[in-house]
Amino acid sequence: MTKSHSEEVIVPEFNSSAKELPRPLAEKCPSIIKKFISAYDAKPDFVARSPGRVNLIGEHIDYCDFSVLPLAIDFDMLCAVKVLNEKNPSITLINADPKFAQRKFDLPLDGSYVTIDPSVSDWSNYFKCGLHVAHSFLKKLAPERFASAPLAGLQVFCEGDVPTGSGLSSSAAFICAVALAVVKANMGPGYHMSKQNLMRITVVAEHYVGVNNGGMDQAASVCGEEDHALYVEFKPQLKATPFKFPQLKNHEISFVIANTLVVSNKFETAPTNYNLRVVEVTTAANVLAATYGVVLLSGKEGSSTNKGNLRDFMNVYYARYHNISTPWNGDIESGIERLTKMLVLVEESLANKKQGFSVDDVAQSLNCSREEFTRDYLTTSPVRFQVLKLYQRAKHVYSESLRVLKAVKLMTTASFTADEDFFKQFGALMNESQASCDKLYECSCPEIDKICSIALSNGSYGSRLTGAGWGGCTVHLVPGGPNGNIEKVKEALANEFYKVKYPKITDAELENAIIVSKPALGSCLYEL
């Protein structure tokens, strides 16, 4: 473990006179600046950048407040910004990708928030989410300036290489870059945004378009560090702790990221996938609470639901049955013990309905009417389903959370007799995670399974989906360095998956589909 982020850490700022720019800025800023000038015939004032992330382990548990282990990657979203001093401020957005058409909208003169229409799938909605949370932050930071006056007008050029729908958090990276940019534009050079504030405000941003994500994406994007994975905790407070990978004797630790090229459009599939899972895990927590005679209490700020979650259940269960009134504080050993117990309870009380709960089943378990259940649980965002698979979802959440703790424990092991010991142990956790995502959470897809199978047969020790799933990217633990297997894995994937599934794939596309990314720096600013 290295330094903690419990103290305020400023988002790094660089400029053209800096001696050594981080690689992403050095490589990408000249290009976006040139494109900005070409589009607006003016020079931008600064560039805000936020990276995408890979989640090594800990999928679909962040919105239950359990810890996760992501790392920021070299793919990122950049926003070049010029601040305008207009009487009638407006914001113009241009995206380097022509799939995302130009946008322009005015800012309300009375300082009220820009409207976001969650029923429309539009890329500028994500900009507006970042704008909204930044605006809300500014109103608290400097109420005399922002309570009833408009924000500054902006010209924005957006460019990113986080593939959309790939599960690497393109939307979160974009929102973090935007929020950082808006605060910077309005507060000027004298104000330095902290990582904690940027992380805290962006965690709720996507809720404004009806996406109930849990905050891992934003934490990883903002707090990423080179050569470190992040241990992201959501309770007692949001915290991201960088963990350096163990130093091995003869190998480097590398992660291959392979994109299935199956695009999972969150907006379209949310009712049967993401939104439904949120409902299922919330419902599972409440069914468990009703079964064991405890009451969930949750008043999470910014949460779209106040029904409590699986972590809340764990806390109140231990308060009632073990007289431990203090909630779990993230301690590894006690966490492992508690999560193991939770898995026993899930088997005990939910396993009798493995085929799934109907609405009537749930209402009966919760001692309420189906109308009450529908009103209280199903109207947070659009959902569509036949049955609610509470057993499978709860089991995944608790077992995945347990694996995260085991992974962190492994990361902090001082040394290994043989390098292979680390690869086998960490890899096993990743493989168990993939099995759980596939069988219990049902967020894999045939392409993901195929890629994992090929990678494991050719030198990967651990292979799993990353991100929400249902397509997108996979991540593979592969020994690197002179004795490594990276090239073998890449070649096998190219020949056995990509050229079979996508016969017309070009070398350039192949290059983008399989990458070896080192952990990258988190959000940062580049001033001109």
Partner 1 sequence: MDYNKRSSVSTVPNAAPIRVGFVGLNAAKGWAIKTHYPAILQLSSQFQITALYSPKIETSIATIQRLKLSNATAFPTLESFASSSTIDMIVIAIQVASHYEVVMPLLEFSKNNPNLKYLFVEWALACSLDQAESIYKAAAERGVQTIISLQGRKSPYILRAKELISQGYIGDINSIEIAGNGGWYGYERPVKSPKYIYEIGNGVDLVTTTFGHTIDILQYMTSSYFSRINAMVFNNIPEQELIDERGNRLGQRVPKTVPDHLLFQGTLLNGNVPVSCSFKGGKPTKKFTKNLVIDIHGTKGDLKLEGDAGFAEISNLVLYYSGTRANDFPLANGQQAPLDPGYDAGKEIMEVYHLRNYNAIVGNIHRLYQSISDFHFNTKKIPELPSQFVMQGFDFEGFPTLMDALILHRLIESVYKSNMMGSTLNVSNISHYSL
Active-site residues: which are they?
Answer: 217
CB neighbour list of residue 26: distance below 8 Å, 6 or more residues apart: none
How many residues contact partner 1, by CB under 8 A? 47
78 close to 160: Cβ distance less than 8 angstroms = yes
In terms of CB distance, is 90 or 298 closer to partner 1? 90
Q: Out of 2, 31, 38, 102, which residue is the one contacting partner 1 (CB under 8 A)?
A: 102
In terms of CB distance, is 203 or 520 closer to partner 1? 203
- In the sheet with 13-15, reading across from the earlier edge strand, the strands are 13-15, 524-527, 46-57, 69-84, 153-160, 90-95, 103-106
State how far the alpha carbon of 450 is from the alpha carbons of 129, 165, 453, 474, in Å: 36, 19, 5, 11
Report d(CA 224, CA 229) in Å as an integer.
8
Q: Least distance from C-beta 382 to partner 1, angstroms? A: 5
113 close to 137: Cβ distance less than 8 angstroms = no
State how far the alpha carbon of 308 is from the alpha carbons of 281, 311, 338, 381, in Å: 10, 8, 18, 16
Only one of the segments 95-103, 174-182, 196-204, 404-412 lies at the binding site for partner 1 (rule: CB under 8 A); that segment is 95-103
Contact flag: residue 85 with partner 1 (CB under 8 A): no
Q: Out of 136, 194, 304, 512, which residue is the one contacting partner 1 (CB under 8 A)?
A: 304
Report d(CA 469, CA 167) in Å as an integer.
7
State how far the alpha carbon of 276 is from the alpha carbons of 35, 281, 519, in Å: 40, 9, 32
Contact flag: residue 417 with partner 1 (CB under 8 A): no
Q: Out of 17, 119, 323, 506, which residue is the one contacting partner 1 (CB under 8 A)?
A: 119
- Estimate to the nearest angstrom the gap between the alpha carbon of 34 and the chain centroid: 30
**Beta strand 514-516 pairing with 462-465:** unpaired
Q: Least distance from C-beta 432 to partner 1, angstroms? A: 22
User: Two tokens at 472?
Assistant: 């997108």
Only one of the segments 114-122, 154-162, 390-398, 490-498 lies at the binding site for partner 1 (rule: CB under 8 A); that segment is 114-122
Q: Out of 41, 99, 190, 301, which residue is the one contacting partner 1 (CB under 8 A)?
A: 99
Q: Out of 194, 298, 374, 425, which residue is the one contacting partner 1 (CB under 8 A)?
A: 374
Site for partner 1, residues 25 to 64, rule: CB under 8 A: none
User: Two tokens at 121?
Assistant: 């799938």
199 close to 238: Cβ distance less than 8 angstroms = yes
Q: Out of 5, 82, 103, 393, which residue is the one contacting partner 1 (CB under 8 A)?
A: 103
Contact flag: residue 120 with partner 1 (CB under 8 A): yes
Contact flag: residue 121 with partner 1 (CB under 8 A): yes
Contact flag: residue 115 with partner 1 (CB under 8 A): yes
Q: Out of 22, 111, 327, 382, which residue is the one contacting partner 1 (CB under 8 A)?
A: 382
Site for partner 1, residues 152 to 211, rule: CB under 8 A: 207-210
Which residues contact partner 1 by CB under 8 A? 87-88, 90, 92, 98-109, 114-124, 207-210, 267, 271, 304, 359, 374, 378-387, 442
